[in-house]
Structure 1
Amino acid sequence: MKIKKIRIFLIPFLSSLIFFFFVIPLIYYLLSFDLPSLEEIQTYTPPVSTRVLDCKGRLIGEFFEQKRRVVSLNEIPRYLTDALIVVEDKRFYSHPGIDVIRIIGAFFYNLKSLSIRQGASTITQQLARNMFLTHKKDIIRKIKELILAIKLERSYTKEEILERYLNQVYFGYGLYGIEAASQGFFGKSVKDLSLSEACFLVSIIKSPNYYSPYKNFDLVLKRRDFFLKMLYKKKKISEEEYKKALKEKINILPLQKNRQEMGYVMEMVRQYVEDLFGTDYLYKKGLTIYTTIDLDIQREAGIALEKRLREIEENYQFKEKKKSHEEIYKEKKGEISPPNYLQGALVCIENKTGFIKALVGGRDFSHSQLNRAVQTKRQPGSAFKVFVYTAAIDNGYKPSDIIEDSPISIEITGVQEPYEPKNYDYRYIGKITLRKALALSRNVCAVRLIEKLTPEKVCEYAYLMGINSKLRPYYSLALGSSEVSLLEMVRSFATLANLGKKIVPILITKIVDSDGVVLKENYPSSEQVLSPQTAFLVTSMLKSVLDEGTGYLIRRYGYYGIGAGKTGTTDNFTDAWFIGYTPYLTCGIWTGFDKKKKIFEGATGGVVCAPIWAEFMKNVSNFYPNDDFPIPDSIVKLTICNETGYLATPNCPDIREEYFLKGNEPTEYCSEHRF
């Protein structure tokens, strides 16, 4: 009998010993294999999003796996952490990572209700789960969570656990951490949150989907009231603070949609940074990328381009028109085909620095990521004539020199048919000055010049000024037969605006890591490739394009400031261009279809693109002084006869003041209109 009693006592006792001293340690040992070590826990840092800023420090966009900005506990209001603790983990400062009392209470509550309605996870356990585990609900994950919670308590102080938790926790809508949530929902830093706003944010943590401010605002508000009530009951806030917070109206920001107008810029930034540092650095290391983009100028670029292209679609009754992003997806049921509507691109750079102030690579980045400002090459048409005339002026020609605008036929060795270019209007004026030939974009005159200069010489000047694409040295090059990118053309025209200095286009000025260490810095650089005098004379000629030439619509569309530029149109009206500049900015525009086809009959650069340039420049020119192009030394101004190009007499019926390089000015008076 006595032995039987001893046996009854010993069996449970020994079983308990075996369980506590062998089974539990064995489970702990086995499950710890794939858990992080203490060292890994102590050195763990959460992935932090990379911010991309404009030239004034304004946020353009972010790259992230988890959208997060890390803040210290000192930056988080005390009432926010108090609210979290009094509701979610009231024994936070006394338990070792696991709240045994809460576990027992939750067990009996769930047993009584015959369902799992109450959890028992501490803040430390939640941190362990968010840092290293999945959210899969099973016993193995739960045991791992308990083990990790104990490890975390051994690795960090309570304040460090609280700080890490608030920087780690998810708030929905891609927002990780309290700072990202504060910025995302309220547009302010967490340190600036009111008591009511702080409790509102903490209310979301329990279930970001269920307590979504955009789906169930009233539910979140009700839970906020509960947090405020608990703070008051626990004497963390006064009665006055409690009542004031209850009455405070909560205003959250509208749900943010992707900023499509920045898509092409962000993609260029992504490619640049990934090439330098790799994908992990971009998405996880919390970089700050400073760009040259000015959001105000960028916004005007997108508006001007889209406005004109929509006008064209409506006025010419295009069958295929650009639709909204939502319409595209709805019609294609998620299968997106390449865009077949009219496209466009715009690049604007600062002349002195090469800083890209605005870049639009297409009409809808979400529909097509092809960057038409940089990645595509198209024939520039007559916009390429600028290189022909620059080469001519630099080799002794004068703006007043007379050239024959009449039919031309050039025999080419090895080619059966002669080259016989035609003017756009199939008409001929006869003898005209180089200035007028450029302003009116007379094709025959440009071909006569390239014949005298040679195509190879024109290629040389194009490369010198900023073209990188391979050019074919044919006579048709004068009319833009070789394909180039929009950015190349803008850079080349900026060389003229910059008095002969070729700049390097820059999009990113600086990349800084999360510790403030500068990883990469780009500085403006330039090279004098043309004389200031040549650049000025060509600029003077290009001013006539706006005032009396193919760019006349620029004035009609309301831009009356200083400007110079050149239109471009290709055969069959498949591509339209306008590249223009002021003393401070150079802006280029291209329009056309991705799959080449006629835009419409008569779709010249002057008709399609010049109005876009005018609308854009009209709205951004006030950001810069209204100065004229500076006149360099050794430039003289004389009055000439427009019919002969010689010095004007009192009898000359058509005269103008013309600029010349000193020493290359005309010295003879007009003989056709004698004194």
Structure 2
Amino acid sequence: MPKRNSKAQGNGQNSSSNRRRKPARKRVGFGTLVLFWPLILLQRITAPLPGFQRFLIRLVGHPALLAIYFLIPLVLFYYARARNYDMAKVEEMPERSVVLDRRGKELGRIHGEKRDIIDISKISQDFIFAILAREDERFYKHRGVDWIGFGRATLRNVKDMGMTQGASTLTMQLARNSYNLNADWLSFSDPLQDLDRKFLEIAVSYRIEGNYEKQEILEHYVNRIFWGHTIRGIEEASRTYFEKHAKDLTLSESALLAGIVRGPNAFSPFRDIPDAIKERDATLDRMVDAEFITKEQADAAKAEEVKVRPEWRRVFHDSWAMDAVRRELERILEEEDIEFGGLQITTTIDSLVQQKAEESLNSHLRSFERSAGYPHQTRAAWQDLPEPKPNPKYIQGSVVVIENLTGSIVATVGGRDADESKFNRSTQARRQVGSTFKPFVYLSAFERGLRPDTMISDDPLKPGEVKGAGRWSPSNSDGKFNGWQPASYGLIRSRNTMSVRVGNYAGNAKVAEVAEAVGFEQPLQKDPTAFLGTLEASPEELASAFTVFPNGGERYPPRIIAEIRDRNGEVQFSNPQLSYQAVGNGSAWTTSQILHEVMERGTGASVKRLGFHKPCGGKTGTTNDYKDAWFVGYTSSLTCAVWVGLDQPKTTINRGYGSVLALPVWAEVMKTADRLGYKAEGLRSKLSFTDCRLCRTSGQRATEGCEEAGEAYTDSVPLDLVPGPGSFCQIHQGDPSIAGDNVPKARPVDPESESAPKAVPVSPSNDVPRAVPVEEPVPRALPVE
């Protein structure tokens, strides 16, 4: 019994103990509690619920909470990455720089992308509705990502068993087009990279929505979007396809442009009109569904004929003016500015003069190509050659027009067609300038004391007469020699023998100094052949050098860009009109007066027959065997250089003088310029003059011996060229070897004695020709309105 009682007692104690003891709970660690408290909380909340209800809630709740656990770090990860993108880049779009002529007319567009950024207020409302209906109907109802639209597109894709519906909003497309969202570190897996890019696109879209208003987002989107054929932005697309501004688009045109956005090259109306119309009609239907337009409006738009830019106007034609602008920009702008574009570049070009220069050159040369027995390839024959064509070998030419008092290039033509040859002969071609260099030889001699009436021999050169010439003795173009003549006659008639003697008088070093001062880049040869124009230069160089004659020795270096503004209208570059005194006033004026005579009774006299009757000066030039034909001439406003020749130097035509091949082009260009307001007024001077008694043989102050020899005369001389007080003639003081045996000898005279003729001013009543100073400045060469 005791034993049984003891057992019973023991069992009783155990039972009592078991009843008091509850199942021990596992203690939840602090870390687990922090990390998984939502799951733990869900467990606790659902514990009292009935089993089936608890099961259903946990079945939905646990995956949902796990998804949240996954999304939170994902959101934070992509949020952090999206923060690295500069939101200002959304509105920074590379666009073409607009190039304007001096009248404000557009010459063309260069650099950047083929885009014209415009304000959304300048876009047709029909197009706004069309692009929203086509790409993002709920644009104004979401904040970057349209989750409702995403769900709808997903269901449609599942139903259609394929990816027939997209879910990208306009904001998402803007993000994708504005930034490079590809992660290089995921390049090993395309699917992962695509998924990463889509998540990042969503994150960046939210940032864009937080930084920009809806209208701004829409504006940036339509300006950035690609429309095929290198076209970007709605304005450029409208002008390219329909030749009108975006604000003038019709409903039909708006729907077509919106319709081809997803496949601009595939659906381009330039390539496939039926497919483009199909996309237009689909867009119109969506506009009706979105209640942007009525069914009747859609039907009327569908019935409208699609008229796109004709094929013959789709080809971009290059121009010599734009080529010159591009070259100049490379020297002005930093590389990043050129690439980004968006600038407004105002040039000095006058498109009306430019057009006339191009037309006149081609028309004149075509007339020679059509003549019987023409010995070279014609342009028409080259155009008939099959593709690919070789480089053209037909006769070429160049025209450069420069404004005297600014250095501004008014027109520049580098050949007969910029599409057929990219070689710009106005700046890149360096050809012998021939007789057009002679004015600078005479100018150099005038600065050394020679006067226009100083007598120079036109006879053949004698061995040893000219330094460095040896036995070289050039002939004149007419094969004649006319004995002693005034120096001016040598320039007016372009006499080679006289010009060499004048150059010898000046000295090679002086002529080389003048050539450099007026802008010739090539150093002058150190032999007398240089006096006849063996120097090589471009038409632009030669035109610029000649401006010293109407400018009284002052030179403005050539410039083609006047001003550059950024997209905000701020001036980024301004090209000042800087000048310098290249040569003496008196010598430039004296040479200019002779060049005026060249046009009156010299090698340029045919200009009157060509219809140009305004005051002007100029010089023809022809190189050996008629390989190069030049004419360079000027009025008070403009200087124009014309060159004609073949790219591979050879005889152009028989007797192909500058007066035949080049001067007629010059006359046509200058007649047009005069009508446009570049007035050719009298070539006046503000110089002061004094009358001196000079010797025709030496050009120095006359002595008693000069008077006795009949060589003394009175000349009106610019003050800066008046011979010094002691610069009396040495020839008529007893040295017959200089002037010849027939020159009377004269005894030295005392300059202070009364018997020596004095160089004194004469009164205006005398018959000596005088250049009267004028007070007013020479009129600027500016076009009229």
TM-score of the superposition, structure 2-length normalised?
0.72
Counterpart position of 2:478 = 425
Q: Secondary structure at 1:62's aligned position in 2?
A: strand
Change (3 A) 1:547 1:218: farther
Q: CA deviation at 1:490?
A: 0.9
1:331 to 365, 388, 391: 388
Report the CA distance shift for 1:256/1:547 in structure 2 as closer, same or farther (over 3 A): farther
- The equivalences for 1:539-558 within 5 A come to 539-558=592-611
Shift, 1:357, TM fit: 0.8
> In structure 1, what is the Cα distance between the partners aligned to 2:679 and 2:304?
46
Supply the distance in 2 between the matched residues of 1:420 and 1:307 (Cα, whole angstroms).
39
Whether the 8 Å CA contact 1:96–1:150 is kept in 2: the answer is: no
TM superposition shift of 1:488: 1.9
Please say which of residues 158-167 and 89-98 is displaced more in the overlay.
89-98
Mapping of 1:66-465 within 5 angstroms? 66-133=113-180, 139=191, 140-141=193-194, 144-156=197-209, 157-217=213-273, 219-221=275-277, 223-224=279-280, 227-228=283-284, 230-231=286-287, 234-236=290-292, 252-254=308-310, 255-262=313-320, 265-315=321-371, 317-322=374-379, 330-332=387-389, 339-366=392-419, 368-411=421-464, 417-465=470-518
Could you tell me which residue of structure 1 aligns to residue 547 of structure 2?
494
TM-fit CA distance, 1:479: 0.2
Q: Tell whether the 8 Å contact from 2:251 to 2:301 is kept in structure 1 after alignment.
A: yes
CA 161–326 in structure 1, closer or farther in 2 if over 3 Å, else same: farther
- Return closer, same or farther for 1:221/1:549 CA change in 2, 3 Å cut-off: farther
The code of the aligned residue for 1:628 comes to G
Structure 1 counterpart SS, 2:132: helix
Match of 2:102 among 55, 59, 70: 55
1:40 is matched with which residue: 61, 86, 109? 86
In the aligned structure 2, how far is the partner of 1:548 from the partner of 1:298? 30
Asked if the contact 2:131–2:258 (Cα under 8 Å) also holds between the matched residues in 1, the reply is yes
Residue in 1 that maps onto 2:649:
596
Write the mapping of 1:651-666 to structure 2, written as runs, cut at 5 A: 660-661=716-717
Aligned twin of 2:535: 482
SS at 2:563's partner residue?
A: strand
Q: Taking structure 1 as reference, are residues 514 and 450 closer, same or farther at Cα in structure 2, changes over 3 Å only?
A: same
Distance change >3 Å, CA 101–CA 369, structure 1 → 2:
same
- 1:447 deviation in Å? 0.8
What residue number does 2:684 align with? 630
Are the aligned partners of 1:65 and 1:284 in contact in 2 as well (CA < 8 Å)?
yes
Any idea what SS the aligned residue of 2:398 has?
A: strand
Distance change (3 Å), C-alpha of 1:533 and 1:143 = same
CA distance in 1 between counterparts of 2:593 and 2:495 reads 18
In the alignment, what sits opposite 2:703? none
CA deviation profile, 1:135-163 (whole Å, cap 9, x unmatched): 99975436513531342233324333212
- Pairwise CA distance, 1:80: 2.5
1:562 aligns with 2:615: yes
Q: Could you tell me how far 1:259 is from its partner in structure 2? A: 2.8
Whether the 8 Å CA contact 1:346–1:360 is kept in 2: the answer is yes
Aligned length: 642
Aligned partner of residue 504 in structure 2, secondary structure: helix
Name which of 640, 643, 648 aligns with 1:587: 640
Q: Deviation at 1:57?
A: 1.7
Displacement of 1:604 after TM fit? 2.2
Could you tell me whether the CA contact under 8 Å between 1:553 and 1:607 is conserved in 2? no
1:488 maps to a residue whose letter is: E
In 2, distance between residues paired with 1:458 and 1:3?
114
Q: Which range moved further: 319-328 or 79-88?
A: 319-328
Q: Give CA-to-partner distance per residue, 1:528-563, whole Å, 9 cap, x none.
A: 344555434322322333333323443444333332
Distance 1:325 1:242 in 2: 51
Q: Give the 3-state SS of the residue equivalent to 1:68 in structure 2.
A: coil
**Aligned-CA RMSD value:** 4.1
- TM (normalized to structure 1)? 0.83
Give me the whole-angstrom Cα distance separating, in 1, the residues matched to 2:378 and 2:60: 81
Q: Distance in 2 between matches of 1:77 and 1:143?
A: 37
Tell me how far apart the structure 2 counterparts of residues 183 and 547 of structure 1 sit (CA, whole Å). 51
> Which one has a bigger Cα radius of gyration?
2
Counterparts in 2 of 1:218 and 1:432: CA distance versus 1, 3 Å:
farther
Distance in 2 (alpha carbons) for counterparts of 1:279 and 1:365: 25
Question: 1:179 corresponds to which letter in structure 2?
Answer: E
Give the 3-state SS of the residue equivalent to 1:591 in structure 2. Answer: strand
Equivalent position SS for 1:67 = coil
CA distance in 1, matches of 2:409, 2:498: 34
Which deviations, in whole Å up to 9, do the C-alpha atoms of 1:378-411 show, x marking residues without a partner? 2211110011222334444443444332211342
Higher relative contact order (CA 8 A, sep 6+): 1
Aligned to 1:612: 665
Contact 1:128–1:145 (Cα < 8 Å) also in 2: no
Residue number in structure 1 paired with 2:709: none
Task: Supply the distance in 1 between the matched residues of 2:715 and 2:391 (Cα, whole angstroms).
Answer: 49
What do the CA deviations read for 1:37-93 (whole angstroms, capped 9, x no partner)? 454245442222222221122222222342222223343343332221123211222
Q: Distance in 1 between matches of 2:661 and 2:59?
A: 94
Determine the structure 1 residue equivalent to 2:41.
Answer: none
* Equivalent residues of 2:94, 2:342 under 8 A apart: yes
Distance 1:240 1:368, change over 3 A: same
> Would you say the 8 A contact 1:447–1:475 is kept in 2?
yes
Report sequence identity in percent: 31
What amino acid sits opposite 2:95 in the alignment?
Answer: V
Contact 1:129 1:145 in 2 (8 A): no
The structure-2 alpha-carbon separation of the partners of 1:482 and 1:274, relative to structure 1 and needing over 3 Å to count, comes to closer
Cα distance between partner residues in 2 of 1:134 and 1:610:
62
Change (3 A) 1:249 1:546: farther
SS at match of 1:565: strand
Output one character per residue of 1:489-520: Cα deviation in whole Å (capped at 9) or x when no partner: 11111111223221121111112222222221
In structure 2, relative to structure 1, the CA distance for the partners of 1:16 and 1:322 (3 Å cut) is farther
Q: Could you tell me which residue of structure 2 aligns to residue 672 of structure 1?
A: none
For residues 555 and 185 of structure 1, the distance between their equivalents in structure 2, rounded to whole angstroms, comes to 49
Structure 2's unaligned 5+ residue stretches are: 1-49, 700-713, 723-758, 768-785
The question of whether the paired residues in 2 share the 8 Å contact of 1:186 and 1:251 is answered with yes
Per-residue CA deviation, residues 330-381 of structure 1 (Å, 9 max, x unaligned), is: 135xxxx655443322211111111111112233445544332223322211
Output the CA distance in 2 between the equivalents of 1:150 and 1:471: 68
The 3-state SS of whatever aligns with 1:375 is: coil
Change (3 A) 1:328 1:93: farther
Could you say what secondary structure the match of 2:98 adopts?
strand
Tell me how far apart the structure 1 counterparts of residues 574 and 469 of structure 2 sit (CA, whole Å): 55
Q: Which amino acid aligns with 1:504?
A: P
Quote the residue 1:655 is aligned against.
none
Question: Secondary structure of the residue that 2:387 maps to in structure 1?
Answer: helix
